[in-house]
Amino acid sequence: MAFWKKLAYKGTYHFLHPLLRFYRVVFSPAKDSARVLLTYKNEIMLIRNIGSNRWSLPGGALHKDETPETCALRELKEELNIADASIQYKLGTYDGVHHGEQVLVHIYVAEATSFRHKKQWEIDRAGWFTLNQLPSKLSPATARRIGDYKNNLRNTTGFW
C-alpha cells in the first residue's frame, strides 16, 4: 500500500486528501479503469469522491495484470466494503482521456445482496438512488452510462 494511503487509513486523511489528489494527478500514469453500476432492488449506488461535487459510479484504475472485471469487484470492496456483489453483464467499454492520454473505461452492471455498505476513506458520500430520483449533480459520463442502462444496452462502445 502506498505511503499516503497508509497515513490516510490511520485517520490523518483530512489534511492529506489534497496532497493525495495532487500526487495522483502529477505522478500517476494514465491507466485503463473499471466502474460498476451497482444495483439492489430498484436502486443504484452512486459515490461522490472527496474534492468533487459530482456523483459517479464506483470504480478505479486497473492494476498490472488485472482484468477489468476483477478490478471492478476490487474497487467495490475498497471503496464501499462490498465483497458479495455479482457481475451480471458488461454494459460497455468506452474511450476516455486521463491526464491527456487515451484510456479505456470498462463498465459492468453488478447486483448487490443488500443495501449495506460502508464508505471508505477516499469517498466523501455514497448512497442508493432510484432511477427516478437521481441526484442533480451527476457527472456527465455517469449520466450517459445510466441512460445506457435504462435503455437495456449491453456491450456498447463510445466516448466515456
Unique residue bearing C-alpha cell 451480471: 88
- Find, among 132, 103, 108, 135, the residue nearest to 39 by Cα: 108
From residue 24, alpha-carbon distances to 5, 10, 28, 105, 134 in Å are 12, 19, 5, 18, 29
The residue ranges of every structural domain in the chain are 1-30, 32-159
**What cell numbers appear for 34 in the block?**
473499471
CATH topology of domain 32-159: Nucleoside Triphosphate Pyrophosphohydrolase (3.90.79)
Q: Could you read off the pLDDT of 132-142 as tens digits, one per residue?
A: 999 999 999 99
pLDDT confidence of 3, banded at 50, 70, 90? very low
- Per the prediction, the chain carries an average pLDDT of 86
Residue 19: per-residue pLDDT: 60
**What cell numbers appear for 9 in the block?**
487509513
Per DSSP, what are the bridge partners of residue 126? Answer: 47
Q: Report d(CA 105, CA 59) in Å as an integer.
A: 10
